[in-house]
Amino acid sequence: MSDKIKVTIDGIPVEVEPRTSILNAARQIGGDIVPPAMCYYSKLEGSGGKCRTCLVKVSKGSEKDPRPMPKLVASCRTTVMDGMEVQNITSPEVIEARKGVVEMLLINHPLDCPICDQAGECHLQDLSYEHGAATTRYEFDRRTFDRVDIGDKIQLHMNRCILCYRCVFTADQITNNRVHGVLGRGDHAEISTYIEKAIDNDFSGNVIDVCPVGALTDKTFRFKNRVWFTKPVEAHRDCPTCSGKVTLWYKGEEVLRVTARKDVYGEVEDFICNTCRFDKKSTNDWVIEGPRQVSRQSVINANHYDTLQPLPVIKKNPELMQANKEQFERATKF
Amino acid sequence: MGRKLLLEHINVPGINTFQVYKEKGGYRAVEKALKTMSSDDVVEEVKKSGLRGRGGAGFPTGMKWSFLAKPEGVPRYLVCNADESEPGTFKDRYLMTHIPHALIEGMIVGSYALGANTSYIYVRGEMMPQIRILEKAIAEAKAAGYLGKNILGSGYDLEIYVQPGGGAYICGEETALLESLEGKRGNPRIKPPFPAIAGLYGCPTVVNNVESIAATVPIVNEGGEEYAKIGIGRSTGTKLISASGNINKPGVYEIELGLSVEDFIYSDEYCGGIANGKRLKAVVAGGSSVPILPANLILNLANGDKRLMSYESLSEGGFATGTMLGSGGFVVLDEDQCIVRNTWNFSRFYHHESCGQCSPCREGTGWMEKVLHRLEYGHGKMSDIDLLVDVSKKIEGNTICPLGDAAAWPVASAIRHFRDEFEWHVKEPKLALERNYGLAHYADPIKIAEEV
């Protein structure tokens, strides 16, 4: 494959297809050099670029034009060029900017993790754990909204929303009619349906899976349990409308909820239909494949807190090892 | 007396009608371009003229035009950005109200140069009278054969449409404007691709400010080289300045770039000095989004030379001691004005106008506004000042579009130059509600750093 192009991210070279984004190139390397992404979703066309958590520094534009890019760029929407050199965790500027973005995302977030169903699998929670400050500098009232039921199975908790637009893209691209969208502007923008219309179609439940925070939650699972007390099991069924490949979340004998199979970046493998998600909550409906592998860092694998230290990386990379060392020192302070 | 190119006939009665405009030499540029020049010649003339975008960024118009992709069988568009909503800027509205045909003529010349057969003028929704004026002007031009099919027998077809916007500041950002023109929510697009490659309906598009488009008329009439003789250095030609604030004669003035700021404020030809015999305290030189400068720095450069009204001279010294020409919204503040209140007011505007798409701007603009409100109304803390600087730094450069920068710069610059006024608001909250800080030392001559 001679048409592959070479990029270097935090000193690690990788060869990728042309027109790959920096974020996806980083995901091909994997590990902790992958920028976090709150709004980008590889399966949704047009997503990304909004949350600004994936900002990276391009220290060398390309082989032809080696000038660095003047500003930090959103890695999810910037395509790689041959010979590009990118700095993510090795650039203090990027770390600082990301800290700023996380702070901005949190100033209007209720931080009600103890009563939020998303806790334990929330990307904002992970992000704040990694980059957030211990206290807030925001001393004003946070914006608040009433909770809204959109349809009988989904609840919208707008206070927690970070306006990533993922659910809007999902409704546009997975279902055939979108009845919700972003209304209003600036910090009073909100996800809403027009005149309290219910979201009602076969694939509407997927907005729950794509939501990076606890703004859209499954009403059938609401307050039933914490995710880290449930056991994820892979299963499938012969479904006429979708692929039928799901993860069942067990507590004891009982299936508490059904979700699509999410990868390490929280992205689903296949979108599933509402019948599978909401109506088939009995072991008899499913063919069990085996336990779901969950990242060892995840709190869903409870009591594995020793993996707090960074993942092992390629030894030949002194820059990254230095960054890891610093991160390890920071992490061990807790 | 500076040369007037755009506003030469502004005082002629009936100049807003086709008849009078034509008598005064209007539509010569269309005839010259369509009959004697190829479209590449027009682009070349504009390039030679050194005309820079008048909307704020100052990007060379000729360069922008030459970047336009020209794939076969795909339409190209010229879109005029008349969504002028920056606080302090009102030159485009003035031009469109009084000489609408200058814009129409420029649109014809520009569209011909770019090979566009359909062009749009996106006008801010609040400017309903101007929309009617433009539509009337288009109808007149069409009746006279300057628009429509086979213009002046040259075989070139052009239709111009006026599109009212919804009145959002963000739709003045070119990609948000295109989204809005397509009928979508006015969120800026993520660049690349730039509009020159994929703009309106995915086709190559050029978006230009009203004044830039109108300025192509004298360029075609007199030739690019002739136009480039006016002005100073890389700031060529004339510029419309919307002067407002505490001056004797507020209004829209056409200046030759390179005029000194002092002359502009104090000469009778332009602003006519500060109103009511007060003293100058500060100037916002290019519309609300550019850094504010105290009196001593706006009149003189850091090395003691006079500051000139040009792209380069105004930005001399970077953001430490300089500002930007921006869109030419020249707001003059006298000694009775409160910088904190002014900054809060600008900040309130950006809070209201942020589109809410990307997080630093959505959350940060509101945060800054709230902190500034607290400072202005006497509940501030000393740490708030550093907090504002920090928040503005975290917005600046990290957003999709320049609105984030535009929101951050006025706050950061006000604190940079007027920090003691902010501190006074914290220390003397009661006094700050009763009276203003006054001129203080802001007009004192600056100490010139000695060369080592």
Q: Which chain A residues have a beta carbon less than 8 Å from that of B358?
A: 49-52
Question: Which residues make beta-bridge pairs with B244?
Answer: B331
Burial of residue B137 (number of CB atoms within 10 Å: 0-12, 13-18, 19+): buried
Q: Is A185 within the bounds of a domain? A: no
Closest to B351 in 3D by CA, of B396, B400, B404, B394 = B404
Element (H, E) at B130: helix B128-143
ipTM given for this complex: 0.86
* Beta carbons of B398 and A186 less than 8 Å apart: no
Structurally, how many domains does chain A consist of? 2
Q: What number is the average pLDDT over the span B406-415?
A: 95
Q: Report pLDDT for A305.
A: 44
Decide if pLDDT at B249 tops 90. yes
Q: Is B74 helix (H, G, I), strand (E, B) or coil?
A: coil
For residue range B175-210, what is the model confidence (pLDDT) as tens digits?
A: 999 999 999 999 999 988 899 999 999 999 999 999
Q: Which of A55, A62, A99, A101 to mutate to test the interface with B (most CBs of B within 10 A)?
A: A101
Q: Is A181 within the bounds of a domain? A: no
**Least Cα separation, residue B78 to chain A (angstroms):** 25
Using CA coordinates, name the residue in chain B closest to A163.
B357
For residue range B348-367, what is the model confidence (pLDDT) as tens digits?
A: 999 999 999 999 999 999 99
Alpha-carbon span B266 to B261, nearest angstrom: 9
- List, in order, residues 6 or more apart from B96 with CB less than 8 Å away: B82, B103, B123, B127, B130, B133, B134, B210
Percent of chain B at pLDDT exceeding 90 = 87
Q: Is A220 within the bounds of a domain? A: no
Question: 10 Å Cβ neighbour count for B276?
Answer: 9
Structure tokens at B348: 């309130």
Q: Is A90 within the bounds of a domain? A: yes
| Structural domains of chain B in order of their starting residue, each with its CATH number | 18-229 (3.40.50.11540), 243-334 (3.10.20.600), 339-434 (1.20.1440.230)
* Beta carbons of A185 and B397 less than 8 Å apart: no
Q: What is the pLDDT along chain A (334 residues), one digit of tens a residue?
A: 458 899 999 999 999 999 899 999 999 998 889 999 999 999 999 899 999 999 999 999 888 889 999 999 999 999 999 999 999 999 999 999 999 999 999 999 999 999 999 998 899 998 998 888 888 899 999 999 988 888 888 899 999 999 999 999 998 898 877 888 888 888 888 888 766 667 778 888 999 999 999 999 999 998 988 888 888 899 999 999 899 999 999 888 889 999 999 988 889 999 999 999 999 999 999 999 988 887 766 777 764 444 455 555 556 667 777 777 888 888 777 6
- List, in order, residues 6 or more apart from A37 with CB less than 8 Å away: A23, A48, A51, A53, A54, A76, A265
Burial of residue A144 (number of CB atoms within 10 Å: 0-12, 13-18, 19+): exposed
Alpha-carbon span B323 to B310, nearest angstrom: 11
Nearest 5°: CA angle at A309, between A37 and A106?
40
Q: Report pLDDT for B367.
A: 95
Q: Is A123 within the bounds of a domain? A: no
Q: Is A331 within the bounds of a domain? A: no
Domain limit, last residue, from A70, A97, A124: A97
For residue range B303-334, what is the model confidence (pLDDT) as tens digits?
A: 888 999 999 999 988 888 899 999 999 999 99
> What's the CATH number where A60 sits?
3.10.20.740
Q: Which chain A residues have a beta carbon less than 8 Å from that of B394?
A: 97, 100-101, 103-104
Which residue bears the tokens 């027109």? A19
Percent of chain B at pLDDT exceeding 70 = 99
List b or e across A22-41, with b for residues whose CB sees 16 or more CB atoms inside 10 angstroms: bbbbbbebebbbbbbbbbbb
Q: Is A111 within the bounds of a domain? A: no
Q: Report pLDDT for A199.
A: 73
Q: Note every long-range contact of B272-276, with CB atoms under 8 Å and residues 24 or more positions apart, other chains counting.
A: B272/B247, B272/B248, B273/B247, B273/B248, B274/B246, B274/B247, B274/B248, B274/B332, B274/B334, B275/B246, B275/B247, B275/B248, B275/B334, B276/B246, B276/B334
Phi, psi of A321 (to 5 degrees): -65, -40
Q: Report pLDDT for A197.
A: 67
Domain that holds residue A41: 5-97
Decide the pairing of beta strands A148-149 and A154-156: antiparallel
Please check whether residue A145 is in contact with residue A153, taking contact to mean a CB–CB distance below 8 angstroms: no
Q: What amino acid is encoded at B185 in this protein? A: R
Domain limit, last residue, from A72, A97, A122: A97
What is the sign of the dihedral through the CA atoms of B232, B234, B240 and B243? negative
Q: Is A158 within the bounds of a domain? A: no
Q: Report pLDDT for A272.
A: 93
